[in-house]
Amino acid sequence: MKALVQRVSEASVSSGGEVRGKIGRGLLVLTGFGRSDSKKDLEWMTNKILGLRIFSDPQENMNLSVSDIRGGILVVSQFTLHADTRKGRRPSFIAAADPAEARTMYGLFVRMLSGSGLDVQSGVFGAMMDVSLVNDGPVTIMIDSPSERAQ
């Protein structure tokens, strides 16, 4: 599992001309699922994202998590995070999970994050989406789950 986490002042996702999710201060999480991902990876990533200390404390040090600030989380599926560009000019997505499996994992991941009690919004799995954000910092961090790092 891969997650590209962006600290945002605000973010939204639209599909078909309709806003599907919108948050204020918090995290935009672009997430892609791989063929070797398991529920254990989802649990690990959920805990990592909820506890990631990338928000500033009163001394302007990154010491607070999205949980600490009671921020929002906007989750958007993005299988292209698994692009392999080592050969040729067209990316290969062979490492990405099968769409049906990825859909199931995406739904479970959103539910796990929602269990935190924070405002968790999401995009539409598999749809063309327009994502808007104001990146705060900018702070953008790539996180690979343990199964991704093992490969």
Q: Given the structure tokens 């199964």, which residue do they identify?
A: 147
Cα(50)–Cα(113) distance, integer angstroms:
8
Other residues' Cβ atoms within 10 Å of the Cβ of residue 36: 15
Cα(133)–Cα(106) distance, integer angstroms:
21
Rg (CA), the chain: 15
Cα(119)–Cα(23) distance, integer angstroms:
8
Q: Which of 31, 33, 55, 79 is catalytic?
A: 79
Domains of the chain, residue spans: 2-149
80 part of the active site: yes
Beta bridge partners of 64: 55
Per-residue pLDDT of the chain (151 residues; tens, 9 = 90+): 999 999 999 999 999 999 999 999 999 999 999 999 999 999 999 999 999 999 999 999 999 999 999 999 999 999 999 999 999 999 999 999 999 999 999 999 999 999 999 999 999 999 999 999 999 999 999 999 988 876 6
Cα(150)–Cα(134) distance, integer angstroms:
33
Overall CATH class of domain 2-149: alpha beta
78 part of the active site: yes
Q: Which of 6, 46, 78, 121 is catalytic?
A: 78
**Amino acid 149: pLDDT:** 74
Q: Are 127 and 15 in contact (CB under 8 A)?
A: yes
Beta bridge partners of 144: 2
With a CB cutoff of 8 Å and minimum separation 6, the contacts of 102 are 32, 33, 77, 79, 96, 125
